[in-house]
Amino acid sequence: MTKSLQSAADVIIGKVGAARGLDGTVRIIPLTDFDGRFDALEKISVGGKIFGVEAVKHIGGQLFMKFAGVDSREDARALTNQFLTVDRQDAAPLADGEFYTFDIIGCEVFADDKRLGTVTNVLKTGSNDVFEIDGKLLIPALKSVVRSIDIAAKKILVDANAY
């Protein structure tokens, strides 16, 4: 139901890990549900600074990237723990009924006319997502429970008898 991305203005798609080798290549920790998201990138924001993408490699189940102007192990280390972001307009398209996690967080949740609280987190359980409401209440993000989601109004309606 939701896709794991974090910010409303710039969409976080990954995080820079450790340097690999001496040429400035870095390991990337993907923070997106879209496989192959990095393969076609020509530029990306790393910690708020735009870099050209020189190379993307998949080695042993891990992802590595080489950025333009990052040409040494020291340059690469300076980027460690920085988030990789793209403009929201460049975010991967979603199918009907799918929402980005950052759009769900902050929505008010109602069961009939009763306000239950605000979504503060979306937990990934493997089988389905779970909306955490004010850090207290957990509601499964299932079609049998969630009646409607209105991102523009920041409002989610749930079936009071289904959770």
Quote the pLDDT of residue 127: 86
Higher pLDDT residue, 100 or 120?
120
pLDDT at 5 over 60: no
Q: What is the pLDDT of residues 52-107, one digit of tens each?
A: 999 999 999 999 999 999 999 999 999 999 999 988 877 777 888 888 888 899 99
Task: Please compute the mean of the pLDDT values over residues 36-43 and round it to a whole number.
Answer: 89
For the chain, domains (ranges, CATH) are: 2-90 (2.40.30.60), 99-158 (2.30.30.240)
pLDDT at 156 over 50: yes
SS3 of the chain: CEECCCCCCEEEEEEEEEECCCCCCEEEEECCCCCCCCCCCCEEEECCEEEEEEEEEEECCEEEEEECCCCCHHHHHCCCCCEEEEEHHHCCCCCCCCEEHHHHCCCEEEECCEEEEEEEEEEECCCCEEEEECCCEEEECCCCCEEEEECCCCEEEECCCCC
Q: Is the pTM of this model over 0.75?
A: no
